[in-house]
Structure 1
Amino acid sequence: MSFSRRSAAMVLAIVVTATSLAACSYSKEVSDPADDSRCKVTTKPATGKDDTADGAIPATNPDAKNWGLDEDCTYTGAGDFSIDLSKCPVGWDLNSGVTTKINLFTSVPHSGALAAYGAIGDGMKSYFRYVNENGGIYGRKIDMKIFDDQYQPDLTRKNVDKAIESNEYAASFGLLGTANNLAVRSHMNKQCMGQYLTGASDNVLFDPGKHPWTSGFGLDYYNESAIWVEALKRQYPEGAKVALVSIDNALGKAYVQGFKRATKSTKFEVVTEQTNSPTAPNLDDQVTTAAGSKADVAILIEAGTFCTQGIGAIEKSSWDPTLIVSNSCAQIETTFAPLQKQGLTGNGTETVRYYYAPDDADVGDPRFAALVSKKLKEHGLDSHNAQYANGWFWAWYITAILKDASVMKGGLNRATINIASHQYNTRYPLMTEGVKGMVSGVTDAYPFESGQVYKYAGATGKKAGTFAPVGKPIKNEGELGNYTKAQRK
């Protein structure tokens, strides 16, 4: 498998114009574009050896050097994307967070009911430690600050405000949670603070034309739901009755919307919809009601311990539907392994995945999987916890973006990081078959649009099971474009 980066295409489009727009000065006062002081930069494009460590560190895209700062002080990228820095606040600094280091931040739950997801941030730091040990980003070391928000949107906003006011950070990456990201998106765009590779895949986050300082990440909920439906068509060619059990927050609502969108004009009928509060003690009532529908298919859209509770409640009941769980529940260590304490297995549960965990039997690249496990252990982290490995996945793409931004015209700064965040074309070493990792400005804002259905099997009361592929990969590459375009389909 080759991990060299290929041509990335992407262009960030501002609503005001389809062409390049003027950049702002260090003083950030809006002035005439012809004023050379408005695009003065302190860095130059990086040169030198691009040590990719045999794919463990992504290679720089050779086309990246063609994008960035133009002669008229504008920043442009591929895919009809450009950014208007003249709209940034007075006092905004193009070079904040970029010195001999690259200062980034994220906000994740390190305490509270969903604290398990905080491991993603720790996994990111683990990968950055590996990158720094291997030369960093053309000599610059990456430093990431992790703020704890307990998965509470109001705390996410406070963390973001603190980061912006400090003027110490180049951008944020991997802010976790749909509601959390939506709570800060407008503010971050007004402040020209990058909100990149969001730790939420709600389709509304993939709209660079309207929100140029935000880039979504992950297999979006429209595409994931469409893959569920295509897989169900194989099992139920004449259609089936479906029960939906979902968490009553932005995550659950987005998935439900995606599923209903995907089942439109099909023979699949939603016969019951059960929701649970994020603070509910368990899902017993919801599962009992859903079981009463005798639906052929149950779709569980949850997060954290609710995933385990829902799977367990269905297994303990007399109801035996085809069970599909959202990708947010697709972790063996945190979702399925705890079932063993209840004498349950979770066997037969299906989910969609688009990249492997390092513990999987088939990982695509055993060498890289072994590296992930080895480094996590060296860094004092549980190599069997997929959330730490998820952090490596996010950080690998962040690294690709920072490397591309470094060689762009104008050198590494907050504007070129923005451009690079909206144009990349590279496959993570543990991607499943047929999945690309590519965005191209407003033309195609969805990096992952295909996936593989997996079934959990082989678990006993003494050991966890494994995921095995079901059927062939389902590919939707290039189908949606961006959120605004997808809404018209």
Structure 2
Amino acid sequence: MSKRKGMRFAAAVLSLSLVAAACGGDDDEDSGDDSTEEPAEEPAEEPADDSEEPAEEPADDSDMDEGDDSDMDEGDDSDMDEGDDSDMDEGDDDMSDMEELPLEGEVEVAAGTVLNLPECPDDWNPLQGVEGDEIRVGQTLPQSGALAAFGAIGEGMQMYFDYVNETDPIEGKEIVLVTKDDGYEAGRAVANVEEMIDTEDIFAFVHSIGTPVNFAIRPITDENCVPQLFNSTGFPLWGDPANYPWTIGNILNYVTETEIWCGAIIDEFGEGATVAALYMNNDFGTTYKNTMDNSEACASLDVVEEALHDPAADSVQNEMTTLISSDAQVFLAGTTAAFCPQTVGAVAASDWRPRYFMSYTCNNLSSFFAPVQDAAGLLADEGAGVRMTNSNKVCGDPAYADDPAIQETEQILADYGGVSCADGSYSTGVLYGQFVEDVLRSAASMPGGLNRVNLMAAVWNGDFTNDLLLGGTLQTDGVNDAYWTEAAQIQEVQVQDGGLTFVNAGDFVDLEGQGGSYEG
């Protein structure tokens, strides 16, 4: 299958460091986040548990976030079977010259990124979950409740892993994905993760979904020295390898996303443009709010009306009624899942036709726009089409029907799941599965082979491309560049020839390497 580029390591990064990795809190670097102290609940239920982290504020750092951004791999148009053997071509040479990383002591795996192994549990094992003929990874995500549509991401990942296991297994081992339903409730997620650590022989957790969920489980994975990779949320705190070297985010940072919106608004309407905004009342939603309130990029805009909505509510109709009455020039929908199509229906049913920006966490056309296709088409025709900052090609969008990477995704879904891109978020799971495969292969090619220390070195020194992305690279460099996805393009949802599609509505913005790390 595709030929994604492997990571490049500098030999210096692989030496033993004397610096200890602090496990401290994360205050936000950014400006306000008055609200974040709590368990950020992103799309669904509140993380009533996560006591631990300070994590407050969805500051304004800048990176990229969730949704279903990226894609499958880079070059291999056709061969779906050849797998990724070639993927790592570039990095392998460098890695063969590297020194083997120690599995004890304080190990610097990347710039400013230290694994303090003496603080791990006494029974901690760097080979946990990979000692036999399996690579066991865990995931907690909503398979029920208001955000159940995102559960298909885990199923799509399983389909992709089935493909890899059959065509080109890593080190001869099969990837086994253990998933549990948390209903988007932080308390359930904590119980899931604790159970999986105790009973499922988990090597690493991957692509768990939601800000509140990931926030709640991070203290557990950190304390147990278990990798928590590619959190499917754009919360800025995931880019903090100095304090949380076992955790990394995945999608475009919500702060970066909001600032891209603000730049587009100012370009179109000028300073002083009026804005009405809907925010989910948790750390996910308030990241958008805090950025609007505190970022210099948004300072010249006039927020004339805003509403916070309960993540567990059935409807946002009351909030939308208030926002519609503002008659603002711009509408921001800082919400997700079922609430996204609700906003589309409400605006279309009114006379309000604002410039409309929505969280890219709702960029799955089949899941969130097919139910309101007529309303979305009406808004686009009347100059108020829904716009998002997308980072990946969206499977099921006819604009990419002839794209080799999308065709490969469709083939994998059909062969290993009997589904298509039109069935939901399965294709996002394929993309996310590729990210996991890439870092596993990178770690496996390092001296010492596949273990948790090498895995984190692979994660924090990443250099990958993927043909499912709209462009850009997936690079990390410890504290110098701690965010995985940093490129996006504003696109508008339109209906063409009877089908939903995204149409470019702005230039491609590539901020690779500019996000730095979270400075709380």
Structure-2-length-normalised TM-score = 0.81
The residue number in structure 1 matching 2:39 is none
- Tell me the CA shift for residue 300 of structure 1: 0.4
Q: Is the 8 A contact 2:391 2:470 kept in 1?
A: yes
Greater alpha carbon shift after TM alignment, 320-329 vs 451-460: 451-460
| 1:408 aligns with one of 446, 450, 470 | 446
> What are structure 1's unaligned runs of at least 5 residues?
20-50
User: How far is 1:78 from its partner?
Assistant: 3.3
CA, structure 1 residues 391+345, in 2 after alignment: closer, same or farther (shift >3 Å)?
A: farther
2:465 to 411, 427, 441: 427
Which residue number in structure 2 is paired with residue 327 of structure 1?
360
Which of 280, 298, 302 aligns to 1:269? It is 302
1:318-357 deviation digits (Å, cap 9, x = unpaired): 1110000001111111111101477975531111101102
SS at match of 1:446: coil
Structure 1 pair 345/459, CA: closer, same or farther in 2 (3 Å)? farther
Matched residues in 2 for 1:238 and 1:209: separation? 37
Letter in 2 for 1:333: S
State whether structure 2 residue 8 is matched by structure 1 residue 7. Answer: yes
Q: Show the 5 A alignment for 1:423-462.
A: 423-433=461-471, 435-458=472-495
Residue 83 (structure 1) aligned with residue 115 (structure 2): yes
Which one-letter code corresponds to 1:425 in the other structure?
Answer: D
The C-alpha deviation readout for 1:214-256, integer Å capped at 9, x for no partner, is 1111111111112112222221233411111011122111222
Q: Pick closer, same or farther for the CA change 1:140–1:365 going to 2, 3 Å.
A: farther
For 2:191 and 2:340, locate their aligned partners in 1 and report how far apart those are by CA, in whole Å. Answer: 29
Determine the C-alpha separation between the residues in 2 that align with 1:262 and 1:14: 38
Take 1:316 and 1:111, find their aligned partners in 2: how far apart are those partners? 29
Query: What is the number of equivalent residue pairs in this alignment?
Result: 452
* Kept after mapping to 2: 8 A contact 1:336/1:345: no
Give the residue type in structure 2 aligned to 1:260: D
- What amino acid is the match of 1:17? V
Q: 1:167 to 1:12 in 2, by over 3 A?
A: farther
Task: Tell me which moved more, 173-182 or 59-68.
Answer: 59-68
> How has the CA–CA distance of structure 1 residues 431 and 73 changed in structure 2, closer, same or farther, with 3 Å as cutoff?
same
Kindly state the Cα deviation for residue 85 of structure 1 after the two structures are TM-superposed. Answer: 1.0
- Find the residue that maps to 2:339 and give its secondary structure: helix
Deviations for 1:417-474, whole angstroms, at most 9, x for unmatched residues?
12222221111111113x22111111110112121000111268xx432101113112
Q: After superposition, what is the alpha-carbon deviation per residue over 1:239-274, rounded to whole angstroms, capped at 9, x for unaligned?
A: 411111011122111222233344556421111110
State whether residues 19 and 106 of structure 2, in contact with CA within 8 Å, keep that contact through their aligned partners in structure 1: no
Query: Which whole-Å deviations, capped at 9, do the CAs of 1:33-92 have from their partners, x for residues lacking one?
Result: xxxxxxxxxxxxxxxxxx993769742522344265149866443334331211101111
Q: Which amino acid aligns with 2:418?
A: G
Change (3 A) 1:397 1:68: farther
| 1:96 aligned partner | 128
Alignment of 1:324-473 (within 5 A): 324-340=357-373, 345=378, 347=380, 348-363=385-400, 366-378=403-415, 379-385=417-423, 387-433=425-471, 435-458=472-495, 463-473=498-508
2:322 counterpart of 1:284 = no
Show the counterpart of 2:63.
none
Q: Hey, what's the Cα distance between the residues in 1 that align with 2:137 and 2:104?
A: 29
Amino acid across the alignment from 1:384: A
Give the alignment partner of residue 153 of structure 1, picking from 186, 189, 192. 186
Deviates more, 1:65-74 or 1:234-243: 65-74
Q: Which has the higher contact order (CA 8 A, sep 6+)?
A: 2
Aligned residue for 1:53, secondary structure, equals: coil
* Cα separation, 2, equivalents of 1:279 and 1:81: 37
Q: Distance in 2 between matches of 1:218 and 1:257?
A: 19
Q: Which residue of 2 aligns with 1:17?
A: 19
CA contact 1:11–1:422 (8 Å) conserved in 2:
no
Contact 1:363 1:430 in 2 (8 A): no
Aligned partners of 1:14 and 1:209 also within 8 Å? no
CA distance in 2 between partners of 1:227 and 1:411 (Å): 40
Contact 1:105 1:169 in 2 (8 A): yes
Residues of 2 paired with 1:290 and 1:90: CA distance? 55
Match of 2:88 in 1: 59
SS of residue matched to 2:493: strand
Q: What TM-score does the superposition give when structure 1 sets the normalisation length? A: 0.85
Question: Structure 1 226/68 Cα, relative in aligned 2: closer, same or farther at 3 Å?
Answer: farther
